[in-house]
Amino acid sequence: MKGDIEKEIRNLTRKNTIPLQYIPKEKLNSICGNANHQGLAAQLALVEYLTIADVLPHIYEQGKTPAILVLDGIEDVRNIGALARSAVWFGIDAIVVSIKRTARINAFAHKASAGAIKDIPICRETSMIKALQYLKESGIKLVAADVTETPNKEVLDFSEPIALIMGSEGKGIVREIRQLADAFVAIPGTGKVESLNVSVAGAVLMYDIFKARNINS
């Protein structure tokens, strides 16, 4: 696809914050099968994407103490699915992802979540920094899971409004987001491996949040 129609599509996707990807013709053929795609195909999302500014006021209106899961650059869709499944199980109110640095939620993520990914609001943000700043201004404490930082010595109060930030599988949490964090948390262990899988670590920490709010309360 070339010429004016390609420029129009490019401008429309940019205007509506729709991810656009250029792929080889062979890949497009495999996606579309026998359909005459004429060089363009659209893939509909399995979930309805929202923004955290849409979701957070409703959480407060319901009288809840917000618990938000923030995924910074998770690239494996199966990890996203597994995290979503744990988030639903432990009563997390919403998941925040980046439109640029996070894998798209597809059938693999849906399968890994056992369908749970449709049971929790997914907030997709054009700027993760602005989304986190909005959360801070709304009274949410930003807690980053990062083995490279020194965990807070004081015991974190998981019963207060909280956003748990999980970093990418390889690089962890980017510097700009670490600088925004109010506190850091790490999971103790033997140290015989470098770290836990992000979906496992997320489940452990989400259980800590659930326990602080529900057990013996």
Answer yes or no: is pLDDT of 149 > 70.
no
pLDDT tens, residue by residue, 34-56: 888 889 998 877 788 899 999 99
User: Where along the chain do the CATH 3.40.1280.10 domains lie?
Assistant: 49-214
In Å, how far are 25, 104, 126, 139, 146 from 131, measured between CA atoms?
A: 36, 18, 9, 13, 19
Distance of CA 7 to the CA centre of its chain: 30
**What is the percent of the chain with per-residue pLDDT over 70, rounded to a whole number?**
94
Answer yes or no: is pLDDT of 153 > 60.
no
pTM of the model: 0.81
Instruction: Please state which of the ranges 58-72, 82-96, 164-178 shows the lowest mean pLDDT.
Output: 164-178
Range picked from 134-138, 150-154, 172-176 for highest mean pLDDT: 134-138
Q: Comparing C-alpha atoms, which of 139, 146, 161, 173 is closest to residue 92?
A: 161
CATH number corresponding to 49-214: 3.40.1280.10
